[in-house]
């Protein structure tokens, strides 16, 4: 018995130690747990410690966007599952104070990222921050303000920068989210709209979108939980309740403070 215990302890002591979570990691965990004040504290502390890193303000902007999504119930999966709700949803009423802080963070992100990229054009953090900045702004414009054409331009720009990022840093798996969102969400549009979007250079391939989301789900870092949520939405739309249930159960276990996952699980029980 003692030998078995010693062998068990030896096995786990031989495993590589997990690196401690950074303030960015802690902030994203809090954001996905809907603990937005904690998220802001982590992101702002990171920015104080790394004043030239654009990942600080862009992550803080993400927390503001997700807080608006939560307040306005935009991340409710039925918003996407129901075509009428997704295609014909009306403009929401944004919180003006949150919008001001959100835009300030995006402006700061742009300034820091461009300053870094002038010195180092392939800087990983600066390119990722620009991808996130364009994605967050396009989400705000399309899902809250319903400025779909303006959002489309930013989606395409973000995807182009993501491709450059992946060319130089193929291990930055979070960058696949840009193409995943563009392809999957735009594939939900009607056939005539998809034809027009393709003429403008937009990507509307559903399977390519899902493949990119799966990469982020399996190998992503900061954006892995968001990719998983979108995959759950996709599974619900495809009537694959078992897959959606597994994804939502895993998200609920990892982020117990997020009631969205538990609420959606109840609907599948």
Q: Where are the domains of the chain?
A: 24-87+95-268
What string of pLDDT tens digits covers the 269 residues of the chain?
Answer: 454 444 444 444 444 455 688 999 999 999 999 999 999 999 999 999 999 999 999 999 999 999 999 998 887 745 656 655 555 555 678 899 999 999 999 999 999 999 999 999 999 999 999 999 999 998 898 888 888 777 778 888 888 999 999 999 999 999 999 888 877 766 565 454 444 445 555 555 678 889 999 999 999 999 999 999 999 988 988 899 999 999 999 999 999 999 989 988 888 87
8-state DSSP, 34: T
Tokens of 263: 């609420």
**pTM, full prediction:** 0.85
The terminus-to-terminus CA distance of the chain in angstroms comes to 42
CATH topology assigned to domain 24-87+95-268: 1.25.40
Which residues, including other chains, have CB under 8 Å from residue 201's CB and lie 6 or more apart? 156
Rg of the Cα trace of the chain? 19
Cβ atoms of 133 and 106 within 8 Å: the answer is: yes
Cα–Cα distance between 40 and 239 in angstroms, integer?
A: 36
């Amino acid at each position: 018995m003692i030998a078995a215990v010693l062998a068990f302890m030896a096995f786990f002591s031989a495993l590589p130690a997990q690196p401690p979570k950074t303030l960015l990691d802690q902030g994203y965990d809090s954001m996905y747990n809907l603990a937005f004040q904690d998220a802001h504290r982590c992101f702002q502390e990171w920015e104080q410690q790394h004043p030239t890193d654009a990942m600080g303000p862009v992550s803080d902007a993400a927390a503001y966007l997700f807080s608006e999504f939560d307040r306005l119930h935009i991340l409710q999966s039925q918003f996407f599952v129901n075509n009428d709700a997704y295609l014909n949803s009306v403009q929401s009423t944004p919180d003006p104070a949150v919008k001001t802080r959100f835009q300030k963070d995006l402006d700061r992100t742009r300034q820091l990222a461009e300053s870094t990229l002038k010195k180092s054009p392939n800087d990983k953090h600066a390119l990722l921050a620009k991808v996130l900045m364009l994605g967050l702004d396009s989400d705000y414009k399309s899902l809250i303000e319903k400025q779909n054409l303006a959002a489309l331009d930013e989606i395409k720009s973000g995807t182009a920068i993501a491709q450059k990022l992946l060319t130089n840093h193929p291990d930055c798996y979070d960058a696949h989210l840009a193409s995943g969102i563009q392809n999957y969400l735009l594939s939900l549009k009607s056939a005539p709209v998809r034809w027009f979007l393709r003429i403008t250079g937009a990507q509307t391939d559903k399977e390519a979108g899902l493949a990119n989301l799966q990469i982020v789900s399996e190998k992503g870092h900061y954006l892995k939980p968001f990719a998983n949520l979108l995959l759950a939405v996709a599974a619900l739309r495809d009537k694959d309740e078992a897959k959606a249930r597994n994804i939502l159960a895993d998200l609920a276990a990892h982020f117990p403070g997020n009631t969205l996952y538990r609420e959606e699980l109840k609907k599948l029980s």
